[in-house]
Amino acid sequence: MSMEKDLSVTVAGVRFPNPVIAASGTYGFGQDYTDLYPLNKLGGISCKGTTLLPKDGNPAPRIAETPAGMLNSVGLQNPGVDAFISKYLPIAKKEGNVIIANVAGATLEDYKQAVQRLDTTDVDMIEVNISCPNVKQGGASWGVSCEGAAAVTKTVRSVTKKPLMLKLTPNVTNIVDIAKAAEAEGADCVSLINTLLGMRIDIKTRRPILKNNVGGFSGPAVFPVAVRMVWQVANAVNIDVVGMGGISTSEDAVEMMMAGAKAVQIGTAVFTDPYSPLKVIEGLKQYMIDNNLNSLEEITGTVQPW
Amino acid sequence: MPYFCDKYRILEREEIAKDIYSYVISCPEAAAYARAGQFVHIRAEGYTLRRPISICEIDKKKGTVRFVFEVRGGGTDKISQLTVDDYMDIILPLGNGFSVNEISDEKSIVVVGGGIGVPPMCGLAACYKNVKAIIGFRSKDRVILEEDLKRIGADVTVCTDDGSYGYNGVVTLPLEEELKKGKTAMVYACGPLPMLKAAVNTAKKYNVPCEVSLEERMACGVGACVGCACRINRNGENLVLRVCKDGPVFKGEEVVF
Ligand SMILES: Cc1cc2nc3c(=O)[nH]c(=O)nc-3n(C[C@H](O)[C@H](O)[C@H](O)COP(=O)(O)OP(=O)(O)OC[C@H]3O[C@@H](n4cnc5c(N)ncnc54)[C@H](O)[C@@H]3O)c2cc1C
Ligand SMILES: Cc1cc2nc3c(=O)[nH]c(=O)nc-3n(C[C@H](O)[C@H](O)[C@H](O)COP(=O)(O)O)c2cc1C
Ligand code: FES
């Protein structure tokens, strides 16, 4: 007989029935796995990154495999924020638990208008992807400088009271400074890590496998990098941290929470095993039973560093 | 149409040519929904991404699905090590499949397959009474599924690039000869891009509708990640669609090669 356990956690004031969230870009808008299990099994879903206007993304191939991971260069293909709001959000809200919109932009105005439109919807949270290129700054991503991260945070904060989750890129020299910049401008929580920049080459053709040459690296191989960054950030900020990057088992999720995460997101593992989020949830429940926990928040940040 | 994800028991395994394996799995629920031209997405132990493989034959009565794949790299090598009574972790059936239309008894369809693009043509051939199969390979030792297509009732022409077996040359000429007869209701093609392009152009020349099955590198296989993009021109509009969900089968004239 399985004991009833309350797996809920609260992130930036939003209650998740369990701490497992589908990571942006790996779970569409929540409709692609419902043949296997209902969306409401997950604590929440971060929807595919949307931009103000629809976007066609990068040319194919967009996917390359790596040892214990993968690269993607989807290039934020999405139907635009208006289609998200009218077509996808209502279904996700009806079928799922916490629904997080994920927005990206090439200019501050893009971010502002996209978030403004989301502000009047019933989306529960807005995750702001600052890993995308700032077109006015020669294409370096917003999230690689404190100024860029601060500017985006300030801009979106000025147009919404909805809980804001700033999603940090790991492709930086000091992620702590970036996280602090986002916190200072009013982010309610941060999520990390987005993908690491990577590359693979077909040695027969001397061509990169990705048509975009480079792409975002994710999956189990990045897990230790993600744990380290979550730990550093969680120690430095006073807002909640959502951890992701390579999580595929409940042990990984516990480890990420011990590093400082209140909730976790799972992306690439879903490609390997679509049931992996459910297995992580089951494993967390068992962990609570085995360790006599009343709340999973009891483990957040409990690593005892040497 | 629903899809399923489970560990399915392997009923048959055979190496039908060097490094090319045929598997039959027991999956009654999925087989009931499966259509020719759909694919299965197989987990390879130790690899992050699943491997997409076309459905070759479907036996709804027995509740089985057959597929045939070539070992190209580590993932397919790992999968090929599974033997009878092992369980294979598969998502299926995925994608749209070929359209199967009512045609009169005087008419026939042509299925064109190149190399490892031949397997899906077996399941498709089983959907029609009069089938001309034109299948191309590099050389005699690479020829697969000729006997299977005959068993299914197709009239088979085998082509080899080096002339070591059957017709010496690519599939385009035999295709053109067949279309000249004016009996063809539909052309279906699966194989390397140059072959697909040639099939589309030849069918167009004779005003015969054509469907092609595309390949692209995939992650999810179910439409969630937009990793498997292809460019499609539909009703004058340029679209970026998903091979796994919107395809893998597209109308030939819509594909932007
Ligand atoms: C819809 C569809 C149907 C297919 N049907 C068949 C079939 O019936 N029989 C068959 O032998 N092959 C088929 N293929 C090709 C097959 O998927 C690849 O040969 C296989 O994925 C290669 O994996 P690997 O581990 O051998 O190679 P690796 O090169 O080690 O694979 C590395 C990565 O690249 C991907 N990849 C490499 N080549 C291809 C390719 N041509 N297409 C898509 N992804 C690729 C792999 O999936 C993997 O993610 C099909 C592909 C698609 C998209
Ligand atoms: C195919 C793919 C598409 C992604 N798209 C987005 C996106 O649109 N927005 C975003 O913020 N992150 C995106 N990501 C990053 C993931 O949300 C996540 O941060 C990253 O993959 C690390 O987690 P994982 O190792 O569990 O996948 C994408 C990742 C993948 C693999
Ligand atoms: S492989 Fe994910 S959308 Fe096609």
pLDDT digits (tens, 9 = 90+) for A192-251: 999 999 999 999 999 999 999 999 999 999 999 999 999 999 999 999 999 999 999 999
A68 close contact with B: CB closer than 8 A: yes
On whether residue A99 sits in a domain, the answer given is yes
Q: Rounded to whole angstroms, how far apart are CA atoms B192 and B189?
A: 10
Report how far residue B213's alpha carbon sits from residue B45's, in angstroms, rounded to the nearest whole number. Answer: 27
A99 forms bridges with which residues in the sheet?
A: A45
C-beta B221 within 6 A of ligand 3: yes
Question: What is the average pLDDT across B1-20?
Answer: 97
If you ran DSSP here, which 8-state letter would residue A86 be given? I
**pLDDT at position A138, please?**
74
Instruction: Please check whether residue A82 is in contact with residue A209, taking contact to mean a CB–CB distance below 8 angstroms.
Output: no
The 10s digit of each residue's pLDDT in B43-82 is 999 999 999 999 999 999 999 999 999 999 999 999 999 9
CB-CB contact of B153 with B57 (8 Å): no
- The pTM (predicted TM-score) of the whole model is 0.97
Beta carbons of A152 and A126 less than 8 angstroms apart: no
Mean pLDDT of A151-160: 98
Token code pair at residue B196? 């697909």
The verdict on residue A2 lying in a domain is no
Q: Do A273 and B49 touch (CB under 8 A)?
A: no
Q: The domain spanning residue A273 has which CATH number?
A: 3.20.20.70
Nearest to A68 among B48, B50, B218 (CB): B48
Task: Look at residues B192, B181, B215, B202 and name the one whose alpha carbon lies nearest to residue B253.
Answer: B202
Chain B interface includes A222 (CB < 8 A) = no
Cβ contact (<8 Å) for A26 and B225?
Answer: yes
Q: Mutating which of B220, B230, B238, B256 best tests the A interface, going by the most A Cβ atoms within 10 A?
A: B220
Contact in structure between A105 and A132 (CB atoms under 8 Å): yes
* Pairwise pLDDT comparison (A133 vs A272), residue with the higher score: A272
> Is A146 labeled as catalytic in the residue annotation?
no
Output the ligand 2 site: residues, CB below 6 A: A 23-26, 48-49, 72, 74, 76, 102, 129, 167, 194-195, 216, 218-219, 222, 244-247, 266-269; B 219, 225, 227
A3 assigned to some structural domain: no
Model confidence at A1, pLDDT cuts 50, 70, 90, reads very low
Number of domains in chain A: 1
A259-298 b/e (C-beta count within 10 Å ≥ 16 → b): bbbbbbbbbbbbbbbbbbbebbbebbbebbeeeebeebbe
Does B2 reach chain A within 8 Å, measured CB to CB? Answer: yes
Q: How far apart are CA B38 and CA B42, in angstroms?
A: 13
Contact B91 A66 (CB under 8 A): no
pLDDT beyond 80 at A148: yes
Does A72 sit within 8 Å of B219, measured CB to CB?
A: yes
Minimal Cβ distance to B220: which of A32, A66, A68: A32
- Ligand 3 pocket check for B242: Cβ under 6 Å: yes
**Percent of chain A whose pLDDT exceeds 70:** 99
Q: Which domains does chain B have, with CATH numbers?
A: 4-92 (2.40.30.10), 108-213 (3.40.50.80), 216-257 (2.10.240.10)
Q: What beta strand segments (E) does chain A contain? A: 9-11, 14-16, 20-22, 44-46, 63-66, 69-72, 98-103, 125-129, 164-167, 189-192, 196-199, 201-202, 207-208, 214-218, 240-244, 263-266
Mean pLDDT taken over chain A = 96
Q: Is the per-residue pLDDT at A292 higher than 50?
A: yes
**What is the predicted pLDDT for the residue at A139?**
75
- Residue pair A85/A118 in contact by the 8 Å Cβ criterion: yes
Residue A20 lies in a domain: yes
What pLDDT score does A2 carry? 55
Q: What is the rounded distance in angstroms from the CA atom of residue B36 to the CA atom of residue B94?
A: 11
Q: Which domain holds residue A294?
A: 9-58+76-199+217-298
Residues A118-128, mean pLDDT to the nearest whole number: 98
